[in-house]
Amino acid sequence: MLAILIGCTAAIAQDIDLLIRNGRIVDGTGNPSFLGDIAIRGDKIAAMGHLRSAKAKRVVEADGLTVTPGFIDIHNHSDYTLIVDGDAQSMIRQGVTSMILGEGESAGPIGGKQTTAARRILPGGGTPDWTDFNGYFARLLRQGISTNIGSYVGSSQIWTYVRGEQAGHPTAAELDQMRALVQQAMQQGALGVSSSLSGPPGSWIDTDTLVTMCKAAAPYGGSYSTHMRTEGRGVFESVAEAIDIARRADVPVDIIHLKIADHSMWGQMPELIASITQAREQGVQVQANVYPYRAGQNDLATIIPPWVHQGGAQALMGRLKDPSLRPRIEREILGGIPGSNWYDHYTATGGWDGMLLVSLSNPRYKKFEGMRMNQVIAALNKPPIDVLFELLEANEGSVPTVYFHHSEEDMRYALKQSFVSIGSDGTAVATNGPLSKGHPHPRYYGTFPRVLGRYVRDEHVLTLEEAIRKMTSANAAKIGIFDRGILRPGMMADVTVFDAATIIDNATFENPHQYSTGVRYVIVNGQIVLDDGHHTGARPGRILKRRDAVRN
């Protein structure tokens, strides 16, 4: 035994590429931290402990710093910005080493009955040059990415491929095609099925169809990730639907950014958590994630009732210009649709002052980026609904918008639950270049440092060890990735090193394009991507796939 130990020590001393020395290690399990060293050989962790005799090609002195697994962002929207810039600056500088993509929309499949307008335009121009996940993943690896990525297949992506921009019940033949598309995506490495049900086309997808899609993913180990039908007055019913889908399809479900997004219902998070806890006690694998802000982001078009969206963006704008339809549209915006499960963002937010415009494509309206809707209404000096219609008509039916619609207290209560992890719901952007445009949600830049700085260090809402677990191993388990998320010999070398005394988010709703500070080193698959706060330009990221998907 002694000879074996001496041999191992000699091997470590001779063959280490990177040594992180004397850091406070928080290993991702939730267990107490400890002082120690981490040796990395190639793309894996070779050894951990007190490696005093170890020598390496590169040494990172981590005295006074915290060493953790790289953060796994369980809900991210960088599907297309990575095509423009694979450096993922705003995420790497938060300590993120893996991003999980795909919500209602996903990077594949592309084609079928999807209209040209429904197919994504890449930031800076151009259209996708792939049609499925094989092509998308190949494109990412060909140009290089600084983080690992994985993706769900979006239920809306499947829906529009088969049915186009149309509501209604799918035929048996259409269900067969949807099932086949999900199976193809899973075989190509998708992590499961995701949905975004609060507005068209997602809101057109009925529960039974979602069950069908999830059943198609189940044999591959897939899970279900859902932005629920409503987070407002029907939130309890929406949670019940998510649980029902998971139970019927026999898949785990992760509720995206769990919140109560309606002023009239603030304070009911304990009751909502109780309903989830009850389902968990009955054997349903239901979890959730949150971002640490009291505002979300969607689109100004979500204020428009679902029936107006039938047929896509051009049809929507045509109806907005039809004076005979205006009274009905205005009535439903301001008062909702009785008996409908439509999530009315206007009513939930409580007024025009709770909406901040993120970006506008029409140059004439760029001056309104970063302004609240009530300020824009005042500046244009027109009735509010007229301004709403004008903005949508002038900007191709889409104006990304931040909605201030849920409470800090409810968010904190959800954050503390053991089954709730951290996800940004953000996008990899940058402070310069083509991804520096617009006025995005500050979560694009600050989610993970905000948790560690504000909610761990300053306000003690979570312990450091529990917060790291929620950012690492908890998220890895959700997507069936078991070689990352924990610091152990033999695991992939995704590592984040930060200063726990100074880490903080700097992005604000008023001035969002600001990188977080305090993250010193980020290592992805054994390569340093952030070196003492400087992005090295390395792009060692890989595609994350479930083992079941790889075998099939």
Q: Confidence band (pLDDT; 50, 70, 90) for 460?
A: very high
Decide which of 431 and 551 is more confident: 431
How do the domains of the chain map onto residue ranges? 71-294+406-534, 298-403
Tens-place pLDDT, residues 277-300: 999 999 999 999 999 998 778 889
**pLDDT value, residue 15:** 87
- Overall average pLDDT of the 378-407 stretch: 91
For domain 71-294+406-534, give the CATH number.
3.20.20.140
Nearest to 497, CA basis, from 71, 28, 65: 65
Please determine, for residue 11, whether its predicted confidence score (pLDDT) is greater than 50. Answer: no
Q: Confidence band (pLDDT; 50, 70, 90) for 121?
A: low
Decide which of 333 and 216 is more confident: 216
Q: Which residues contact 406 (CB under 8 A, 6 or more apart)?
A: 231, 259, 260, 261, 266, 294, 295, 296
pTM to 2 decimals? 0.88
- Overall average pLDDT of the 333-359 stretch: 80
**Whether 296 contacts 406, CB under 8 Å:** yes
Outline where DSSP puts E strands in 317-449.
355-357, 400-403, 420-422
Q: Confidence band (pLDDT; 50, 70, 90) for 251?
A: very high
- Overall average pLDDT of the 463-489 stretch: 98
On average, the pLDDT of the chain sits at 92
> What number of other Cβ atoms are within 10 A of residue 512's Cβ?
24
**pLDDT value, residue 465:** 98
Distance between CA atoms of residues 66 and 64, nearest Å: 7
H helices present in 451-528, as ranges: 464-471, 473-478
Q: Counting Cβ atoms within 10 Å, is residue 544 exposed (0-12), middle (13-18) or buried (19+)?
A: buried
Nearest to 453, CA basis, from 504, 412, 496, 514: 504
Question: According to the per-residue pLDDT averaged within each range, which of 335-339, 364-368, 396-400, 464-468 is highest?
Answer: 464-468
Please determine, for residue 98, whether its predicted confidence score (pLDDT) is greater than 50. Answer: yes
**pLDDT value, residue 125:** 72
**pLDDT value, residue 2:** 36
**pLDDT value, residue 533:** 97
Number of helices (H) and strands (E), helices first, in the chain? 19, 21
Decide which of 347 and 127 is more confident: 127
Please determine, for residue 500, whether its predicted confidence score (pLDDT) is greater than 70. Answer: yes
Q: Confidence band (pLDDT; 50, 70, 90) for 335?
A: confident
Q: Confidence band (pLDDT; 50, 70, 90) for 346?
A: confident
Please determine, for residue 248, whether its predicted confidence score (pLDDT) is greater than 90. Answer: yes
Tens-place pLDDT, residues 36-64: 999 999 999 999 999 989 999 999 999 99
**pLDDT value, residue 302:** 85
- Overall average pLDDT of the 517-522 stretch: 98
Distance between CA atoms of residues 382 and 379, nearest Å: 8
**pLDDT value, residue 122:** 75
**pLDDT value, residue 10:** 43
Q: Which residues contact 6 (CB under 8 A, 6 or more apart)?
A: none
Tens-place pLDDT, residues 196-221: 998 889 999 999 999 999 999 999 99
**pLDDT value, residue 545:** 95
Decide which of 307 and 122 is more confident: 307
Q: Measure CA of the first residue to CA of the last residue in the chain; give whole Å.
A: 41
Distance between CA atoms of residues 457 and 483, nearest Å: 29
**pLDDT value, residue 350:** 76
**pLDDT value, residue 6:** 36
Tens-place pLDDT, residues 269-282: 999 999 999 999 99
**pLDDT value, residue 7:** 38
Please determine, for residue 502, whether its predicted confidence score (pLDDT) is greater than 50. Answer: yes
Range in 110-119, 203-212, 503-512 with the lowest mean pLDDT = 110-119
Share of the chain above pLDDT 90, in %: 76
Please determine, for residue 301, whether its predicted confidence score (pLDDT) is greater than 60. Answer: yes
DSSP letter assigned to residue 265:
G
293-305 burial by CB neighbour count: b if 16+ within 10 A, else e? bbbbbbbbbbbbb
Share of the chain above pLDDT 70, in %: 95
Residue 437 one-letter amino acid = K
Do you find a cis peptide bond into 109, omega within 30 degrees of 0? yes
**pLDDT value, residue 3:** 38
Tens-place pLDDT, residues 440-453: 899 999 999 999 99
